[in-house]
């Protein structure tokens, strides 16, 4: 099969030329000056990513991407607009579920980063499996302004689609789940600390024996190994404790219901109730 291309759609030729110059050294680029031309190219070419301008004569960018979603669901959809306020009022946005919405003018770094992430996401879509997860992810994309590619990969690992892949290690599975919880919890904004899944992994595997993640075995009620209690336990360790527990029992050993019941039962004793709630909220959004 021919190398996949990036399809650029805009009725302004200078814009198409500028975007093409930025991307052509790294990707095969196709261009279309209208919605109808874009759909024709989609029928003929192996398109991975489509970037469409919102305002165009005839078929606008929303209509183009809505059609693409129906006819070519594995194509990653990106919408570009200089009229963000007007765009926000369009009720058809939820029928498009774009991966990203970029505001014109788009700077070089943003365009390159967005396309790079979109190509990675397309490679996951193209695996051809996990239609339920694809549906869930597609629904998510319609409600978020931006979903980084690592988060999408974490979603797929946590959902189990990549567990059969020999390249996915226990480290991958653990950090995927930890990143999902941290992303879901917005821990940096809610609690004022950064949660690093890699540092957490080093703690639970004994690679580090000190620092804010090393006290994850302490009990919230003070009955743990060192007797630390409540908020005296670093926040990173209080979050790591239920994350690590559910990864072991709920994901690795495939006993999610038992894990959830134990987390609830031990909330306030072994685990910080606030951190348990964050983990359980994440589990409800990303089923295993």
Read out DSSP for 116-164?
A: HHHHHHHHHHTT---HHHHHHHHHHHTT-SB--HHHHHHHHHHHTTTTT
pLDDT (0 to 100) of residue 198: 86
Q: How big is the chain, counted in residues?
A: 288
- Site of tokens 């003929």: 44
pLDDT (0 to 100) of residue 154: 53
The pTM for the full model equals: 0.51
**CA distance linking residue 280 with residue 155, whole number of Å:** 16
Superfamily of domain 5-129: Response regulator (3.40.50.2300)
**CA distance linking residue 52 with residue 102, whole number of Å:** 10
pLDDT (0 to 100) of residue 169: 62
pLDDT (0 to 100) of residue 196: 84
Task: List the chain domain ranges.
Answer: 5-129, 170-285
Reading the chain (288 residues) residue by residue, the pLDDT tens digits are 678 999 999 999 999 999 999 999 999 999 999 999 999 999 999 999 999 999 899 898 989 998 998 888 778 888 898 877 666 555 455 556 677 788 888 889 889 988 887 887 777 666 544 444 454 455 444 444 444 555 555 555 455 444 444 444 667 667 777 877 776 665 545 556 778 888 898 998 889 889 999 999 999 999 989 999 999 999 999 999 998 888 877 766 667 778 888 889 899 999 999 889 888 877 764 444
**CA distance linking residue 77 with residue 243, whole number of Å:** 33
Contacts of 7 (CB under 8 A, 6+ apart): 30, 31, 32, 38, 41, 42, 45, 47, 49, 50, 51, 75
**CA distance linking residue 186 with residue 180, whole number of Å:** 10
């Amino acid at each position: 099969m021919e190398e996949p291309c990036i399809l650029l759609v805009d009725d302004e030729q200078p814009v198409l030329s500028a975007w093409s110059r930025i991307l052509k050294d790294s990707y095969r680029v196709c261009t279309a000056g209208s919605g109808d031309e874009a759909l024709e190219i989609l029928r003929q070419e192996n398109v991975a990513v489509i970037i469409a301008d919102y305002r165009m004569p005839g078929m606008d960018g929303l209509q183009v991407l809505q059609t693409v979603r129906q006819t070519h669901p594995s194509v990653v959809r990106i919408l570009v607009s200089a009229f963000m306020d007007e765009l926000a009022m369009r009720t058809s946005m939820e029928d498009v579920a774009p991966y990203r919405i970029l505001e014109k003018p788009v700077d070089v770094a943003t365009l390159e980063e967005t396309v790079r992430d979109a190509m990675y996401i397309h490679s996951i879509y193209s695996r051809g499996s996990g239609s339920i997860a694809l549906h869930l992810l597609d629904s998510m994309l319609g409600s978020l302004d931006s979903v980084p590619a690592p988060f999408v990969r974490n979603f797929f690992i946590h959902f189990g689609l990549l567990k059969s892949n020999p390249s996915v290690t226990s480290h991958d599975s653990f950090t995927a789940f930890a990143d999902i919880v941290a992303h879901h919890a917005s821990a940096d904004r809610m609690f004022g600390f950064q949660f690093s899944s890699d540092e957490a992994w080093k703690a639970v595997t004994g690679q580090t024996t000190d620092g804010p993640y090393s006290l994850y075995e302490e009990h919230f009620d003070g009955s743990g190994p060192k007797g630390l209690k409540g908020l005296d336990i670093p926040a990173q360790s209080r979050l790591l404790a239920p994350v690590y527990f559910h990864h072991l029992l709920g994901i690795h050993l495939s006993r999610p219901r038992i894990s959830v019941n134990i987390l609830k039962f031990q909330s306030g004793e072994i685990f910080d109730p606030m951190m348990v709630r964050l983990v359980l909220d994440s589990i409800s959004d990303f089923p295993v």
